[in-house]
A and B are shown apart, each in its own frame.
Chain A
């Protein structure tokens, strides 16, 4: 199938906003992503080192039935919805997202490094772009807005150093 163009950011934004609003109306909470990933981590830990998971004060918060959680089901939905949209748009393909000036290997190394840094930041902030910036932004949470501007500040400050990766 021919790859289709992405939809207008304003149309996608309205779709996303209505989805968030629906979550508020139905269950009284917003969207999220990193919380589900943390729970997946603890689930893996429970399989291999349950005592370690139970004795660590952070993992212990999630150690009891980590996957039986609203966010985990929502995250499974994200995977399904993302796949459906990609399939309908002809955009399912194995590829590496990067600029023309960086090798595949270096891009993948930076993807892992960036992911690790983000994992730490998301847990420290108690949320990520979905769970804290988007959700907290819409409920006018003070922390949500402060966090959102901190994210943009951190990213813009770093952009120059990794410009070869993207432009």
Chain B
């Protein structure tokens, strides 16, 4: 039964090889979508190129539906799949800060790696900036360790939070994604000046 690593089908060493292969696929698809090019990413925030939104929500829906489907048929133990723990305060503020950095810098960490390796100089510089910012965070960490842990709610999911089963939440996520796709296509028609 999946997740295979959690059920001891292979050890840590093998998991590293799998990590490399999964990473290759991850990087490949990021580049295919055009995420190695900062301007294409940033035009999202001017409603001129909604690729970020479309790719992101398509990926989330595919993986989410896949997980629920596999678990429904008993092929995968959902309780053994890592759910990011929630720290509400730190995640709201961290997300806002990251969004500011996204609009200014034009990349996020993963896409900057793809940008840098395909020769985008701004991607290389962004990557150095991000490494620098993380060092700064570490140096200042003792000052806001308390805030870093604020709003801790454990590994909570949306279904648990709202007290409903996964089905309706997943359906709502799919409907929201479809709405965003339709809205995104409409916005592009209205605002896009060129194909990037």
Contacts and interface: CB of A to CB of B under 8 A. Distances in A.
Contacts of B134: 34, 37-38, 41, 119-120, 122-123
Contacts of B187: none
A141 B84 CA distance: 6
B121 interface: yes
Interface residues of B, number: 127
A113 B34 CA distance: 23
Contacts of A150: 91-96, 98-99
A130 B135 contact: no
A116 B20 CA distance: 27
Interface in A110-148: 110-148
Contacts of A54: none
Interface string B47-64: 010110011111111111
Contact of A151 (B29, B99, B118): B99
Contacts of B29: 12, 15-16, 19, 81, 85
Contact of B31 (A85, A97, A111, A132): A85
B161 A142 contact: yes
A113 B23 CA distance: 27
A116 B23 CA distance: 24
Interface of B: 2-6, 15-34, 36-40, 42-46, 48, 50-51, 54-64, 66-67, 70, 76, 80-88, 90-115, 117-123, 125-139, 141-142, 145, 148, 153, 155-161, 166, 169-170, 173, 181
Interface of A: 6-7, 9-34, 37-38, 40-42, 45, 56-59, 70-71, 73-86, 89, 91-99, 107-108, 110-159, 162-163, 165-167
26 contacts: A17-B59, A19-B25, A22-B25, A24-B66, A31-B26, A56-B138, A56-B141, A57-B142, A82-B28, A97-B120, A108-B121, A111-B126, A112-B129, A113-B105, A115-B105, A118-B97, A121-B97, A121-B133, A124-B93, A126-B91, A129-B102, A150-B91, A153-B96, A154-B100, A155-B100, A165-B106
